[in-house]
Amino acid sequence: MSGRPISGASAGGGLPAGRRALPALLLGAMLLLTACGGGADGKGEGKGGGAGKAGAATPSQAVVTVAPKDGADSVGTSGALKIAADRGKLTSVRVADGKGNEVQGEITADGGKWTPEHHLASATKYKVHAIAKDSKGRESAKDTTFTTLVPKNTFVGTYTPENGSKVGVGMPVSLHFTRGITSPEAVEKAIEVTSEPKVEIRHKWYGNDRLDFRPEEYWKPDTKVTLQLALDGVEGRPGVYGKQTRTVTFTVGRSQVSTVDAKSHMMTVERDGKVLKKIPITAGGPGTTTYNGQMVISEKYQVTRMNGETVGFGGEYDIKDVPHAMRLSTSGTFIHGNYWAGASTFGSANTSHGCVGLRDTRGGYDGQAPAAWFYSQSLIGDVVTVKNSQDQTIPWWNGLNAWNLPWDKWEK
């Protein structure tokens, strides 16, 4: 018993180690088959289970089509993008540029098409991801990219008033385009003017290069107005595309409306509905009368030159240092300081070439002079209304004088 091995047996159960390995491997294989097969308890695939999986993997019958084709270049910014589904319905469409800015659009009620709400930007690469489902709910997706055209000819819109400015209650929004527009509806859709508090705002074209916006009545004080320009990619005329995306905001200040009575030679300045001051004036004399109507201050000059040749009066006058001048019309109507007429002229006679003159000093150094005071109290966008002049009402397009056109003549 001392050190002799036990023949044909072991402490583990009586079989040699080499002979014990085979049953262990077989047992492991049986466990593996049981774990992967399932079947007996009805929870696995069981016999024929592979056929069910093949049915689940059947491709969707829905087909998504995208125009332009994948990788296309020089794609038009309007009308070229078309996304549709055949033998199914679109459920999701995303079109975005490289910065993630999405193109808003709408899927039709029948799920057959997706249409963008507006034009695309020029010289921009877009990615499309569209998903459709067939009648059994199986999805089909398509991903494409394309790049819009680089325009050879472009236009922009210069705007009034300036971004961030504070203006008077009479300030319209006025746009001048650098090229004549022959597709006005396309341009209109790319421009939006809104206000807070909200009011109805209408627009009007003058010729083919100017577009103005205004509410029915003067803005209320403290109104915030926003102009949104999305002209980039708009074909304003054949082969000429907008190249501008910008948001402009301005604020309306207090209400100041001044009324010039050319017959009594007086101007009444009202601030927020109350008379602030009455000022003697001189208006246009016989043959050079001042326009009647509501005129809006569009520019202010501490000192400016007034030359009759620039407004059709030949060499009748050339005054190089007119003080405290504020423009009321494109054609040359100003309300300004006048130091060359005698003091008794103001309040008693009309002697100007169509402007409204207020007593002033040469150089404009006297801050107490009527012209200096009125200049300091005025904002661009304030209204100056002239009445009782022997002249016609100023056309709405001569300056920023939109208020002289009836409301029903403005487009909704």
Cβ count near 15 (within 10 Å) = 13
Q: Which two tokens stand for residue 140?
A: 């089909």
Residue 98 · residue 123 · CB < 8 Å: no
> With contact defined as beta carbons under 8 Å apart, do 228 and 354 qualify?
no
Neighbour tally for 124: CB within 10 Å = 20
Distance of alpha carbon 203 from alpha carbon 324, whole angstroms = 32
CA-wise closest residue to 238 among 313, 153, 353, 341 = 153
Structure tokens at 65: 């089509």
DSSP bridge partners of 83: 66, 114
Catalytic residue check, 355: yes
**Residue 129 annotated to the active site:** no
What per-residue string of b and e applies to 273-288 under the rule 16 or more CB within 10 Å gives b?
eeeeeebbbbbbeeeb
Query: Which residue among the candidates 119, 203, 353, 355 is catalytic per the annotation?
Result: 355
Spacing of C-alpha 350 from chain mean position: 46
Report the distance separating Cα 338 and Cα 26, nearest Å.
Answer: 116
Cα dist from 264 to 29, 268, 280, whole Å: 115, 11, 9
Quick check: helix, strand or coil at residue 275? Answer: strand
CB 190 within 8 A of CB 240: no
Cα–Cα distance between 386 and 370 in angstroms, integer?
18
Catalytic residue among 119, 203, 336, 353: 336
> Which residues are tagged catalytic?
336, 355
